[in-house]
Amino acid sequence: MDLAEIGRVMRRRWYVLLPGLLLTAALTIAVHLLIPVEYQSQSTVTLLNSSKATEAFDGNPFLSTQASLTGMADGLARNLNSDGAKADLKALGVTGTHEVKIADNAQGPFMWLTVTGTDPAAVLKSDELLAGYADKRLKEFQTQQSVAPEAMIRMATIVPPQKPEAQTKTRIQYIVMVGALGFVLSLVATFFVEARKRTPRGKNRPAPAGTPAADTPAPAAATPATPVAHDETMALRTVGPSGAGSP
């Protein structure tokens, strides 16, 4: 079937195709309205060596980075993603969902603090609260280990919470999926109706019970035997093999 034939079928069965396309458009609009737009804000922080450890570098913490700081950043990120931290953040007023992880391709103890939600203002506020909570948890870890204040690892903000940006990728994917599926189903229904209309009536329909098949010949009627006359029988008995009469 070429494109011209497909177009002719679609024109002939427009009463099947058009309702399907209208339903697809309605579902697409519903998905667009029901799935809210999500916004995301992200900040970047880093862990710095203690003031005591930076005395040899004139107090510059960026000159005394250590591998242990990256390990501490990983441990802190895991704690901030735990259920207990989620409960604490919710009590502080953080809304939406948050994620803390070591920054991609990081060359040091850099961490990304990300918050996602549907209200841009609430997302920005939540990212700020998350950054403050992360600094608090870092100090609590070290206090629990009785670390002296001058020997504590510190946290510094590299990139403050950014203006929330709309995340439309997932929403667009759902809209495209619904539109494509509805269009395909509309075409399938159209060609199904076309195929049904082209099938001759009565074809492949089973014959009623008790009706003989058309191609089965009717049995031949039995031919009644012709009675032999009495006198002919007697003549056969009296005629011999040579045709002469019996004695």
Using DSSP's 3-state secondary structure scheme, residue 158 falls into: strand
Tokens of 199: 């099938």
φ/ψ (deg, to 5) at 132? -65, -40
Query: What is the model's pLDDT at position 212?
Result: 52
Confidence of residue 237 (pLDDT cuts 50, 70, 90): low
The CA distance from 18 to 25, in Å, is: 11
Residues 31-86: tens digit of each pLDDT: 999 989 999 999 999 999 988 888 888 888 888 777 789 989 999 999 999 999 99
Query: What is the model's pLDDT at position 8?
Result: 86
Query: What is the model's pLDDT at position 112?
Result: 96
Asked whether residue 213 carries a pLDDT value surpassing 80, the answer given is no
Query: What is the model's pLDDT at position 178?
Result: 94
Asked whether residue 223 carries a pLDDT value surpassing 60, the answer given is no
Asked whether residue 172 carries a pLDDT value surpassing 70, the answer given is yes
> Are the beta carbons of 194 and 13 closer than 8 angstroms?
yes
> Are the beta carbons of 45 and 130 closer than 8 angstroms?
no
Q: Which ranges constitute the DSSP H helices of 145-211? A: 169-198
pTM summary value: 0.68
> Are the beta carbons of 49 and 65 closer than 8 angstroms?
yes
Q: Output the DSSP codes for the chain.
A: --HHHHHHHHHHTHHHHHHHHHHHHHHHHHHHHHSPPEEEEEEEEEEE--TTTTGGGTT-GGG---HHHHHHHHHHHHHHTSHHHHHHHHHHT--SEEEEEEPTT-SSSEEEEEEEES-HHHHHHHHHHHHHHHHHHHHHHHHHTT--GGG--EEEEEEPPPPPEEE-HHHHHHHHHHHHHHHHHHHHHHHHHHHHHHSPTTTTPPPPTTPPPTTSPPPPPPPPPPPPPHHHHHHHHHB-TTSPBP-
Query: What is the model's pLDDT at position 233?
Result: 46
Q: To 5 degrees, how large is the angle CA 208–CA 210–CA 213?
A: 75
Share of the chain above pLDDT 70, in %: 80
Asked whether residue 154 carries a pLDDT value surpassing 50, the answer given is yes
Q: Could you tell me whether strands 110-117 and 154-159 are parallel, antiparallel, or unpaired per DSSP bridges?
A: unpaired
Confidence of residue 205 (pLDDT cuts 50, 70, 90): low
Higher pLDDT, 96 or 197: 96
Q: Nearest CA to 95 among 128, 66, 56?
A: 128
Tokens of 2: 């070429």
Asked whether residue 148 carries a pLDDT value surpassing 80, the answer given is yes
Residues 18-30: tens digit of each pLDDT: 999 999 999 999 9
Give me the torsion for CA of 198, 199, 200, 202, rounded to 10°: -150
